[in-house]
Amino acid sequence: MIRFDDQVAIVTGAGAGLGRSHALRLAERGAKVVVNDLGASTDGQGTDDSAAAQVVAEITAAGGTAMAHGADVSDEAQVADMVAQVMDRWGRIDILINNAGILRDKSFAKLEIADFRKVVEVHLMGTAICTHAVWPVMREQGYGRVVVTTSASGLYGNFGQANYGAAKAAMIGLMNVLHLEGARYNIRVNTLAPTATTRMTEDLLPEEVQKLLVPETITPGVLYLVSEDAPSRVILGAGGGSYAQTRVYETEGITLMGSDNTPDAVAAQFDRITDEAGMKVMDDAFAQTRKYAANAAKALGVDVNWT
């Protein structure tokens, strides 16, 4: 049975919805939980500490251990204060689930840049700031589990969500780099792609669908992603009890050299360029560099020494 005894977990945006569900289940399995929530509206307006306090009360009433903190995840000083309080109280941080977020949906033509910036600040910068704040702690203790939260809007697109989709797509790049940098310190980093009924989606989904996609159907997957035996660099889709992995592949492609490397040749060969046969996952950015250089070297009949 997966347990989190003697571990400390921070869950951002944990006053309601997915975050609340994650916090409750972590505490149920033994973790000391930091319930972070600014208490803002779904578009990021206002503050209210009552939601986080209520989740802490639920946890303690059930025999668990928790504390609330109202840090705005996009504010470095407030996040630093949260981490300092956690370290003073419990002396370690094992788990960070980056869940906090807002929506300011409009079509791109009508979207104010200020609203684009605010959504990116909360989702992307908030995730980066919180992760950056706990990263030294996890490196020092030689253990850490981090989850960042993306969305189908970021992976596949959704009309009227250019700001949200851009911020959520950025989570994949962040995960890929942190996975590589954290590996030697036993820090594993994964991405959750949830489809759930929350404050941010309840007006978008039919009532019968809302009943199927409650947050509690997603949290088991998250708890696996932050467990001791968790994988790393996984994009886990979750909703209604369904789980699936999203992966980014690159086709085998073609190589065009010299006078053959023209826009017309790219157009003529585009079916081959996009042929899925033999497509592969790239382990890192340099894997693509090596592939393209090797292809060019082969076409020119020259040797490349990578040492």
Cα distance between residue 190 and residue 174, in whole Å: 10
Q: Is 164 a catalytic residue?
A: yes
Q: Which of these is catalytic: 156, 164, 224, 292?
A: 164
Compute the chain's Rg from CA coordinates. Answer: 22
- Give me the residue label for tokens 């007006």: 203
Residues belonging to the active site: 164
